[in-house]
Amino acid sequence: MVRMKRLGLGLVIVAALALGMRAAEPSALLKFVVLKDYNGKPIRNAGVVMHPVNEKGKQSRGGLELKTDAEGRASFDGVPYGTLRVQVLAQGFQTFGEDYEINQPEMEITVKLKRPQGQYSIYDDHSAEKKKDEGSDKKDEAPDKKSEPPN
């Protein structure tokens, strides 16, 4: 019985120490600014998704999603130091994704989203475009002196 009490007390102490250590881990205030690439105006209601990344570069399960305000801003306090994968999604724009090393008490991350690009299909006939490109390459080349007619 005494052993059980000591074991229980020991577990409580270990748990309290673990929680205390966890609270002592450094964390950061992250501020995000999401802008349109082509004119620098803010994007309202963009989704900013944060995923912790482990030492092997693998994205951990879970994560947190924020939404930007009318000025294209979002923030979150309490992000632990380490690698963080940030994805930004907004309707009508390309999805952005990049890993950041969180190592300061306060960081601001500015993301400029681009418009979607046209899609290229291998099933489309691109022979006319290829001929046009080949023709423009020949115009850019210096003329061969041997092929010029004599004056």
pTM of the model: 0.64
Q: Over 50: is that where the pLDDT of 34 sits?
A: yes
Percent of the chain at pLDDT > 70 equals 68
Position with higher pLDDT, 124 vs 29: 29
Instruction: Compute the average pLDDT of residues 56-74.
Output: 92
- What DSSP line would sit under 62-81, residue for residue? --EEEE--TTSEEEEEEEES
Residue 28 — very low, low, confident or very high, per pLDDT cuts 50/70/90? very high
Instruction: Compute the average pLDDT of residues 33-46.
Output: 97
- The length of the chain, given as a count of residues: 151
Q: Which residues contact 88 (CB under 8 A, 6 or more apart)?
A: 32, 34, 46, 47, 48, 49, 95, 96, 97, 111, 113
What confidence score (pLDDT) does residue 124 get? 78
CB-based burial label for 59 (10 Å; 0-12, 13-18, 19+): middle
What confidence score (pLDDT) does residue 122 get? 83
Q: Over 90: is that where the pLDDT of 135 sits?
A: no
What confidence score (pLDDT) does residue 19 get? 40
Residue 112 — very low, low, confident or very high, per pLDDT cuts 50/70/90? very high
Domains in the chain, start-ordered, CATH in brackets?
A: 25-113 (2.60.40.10)
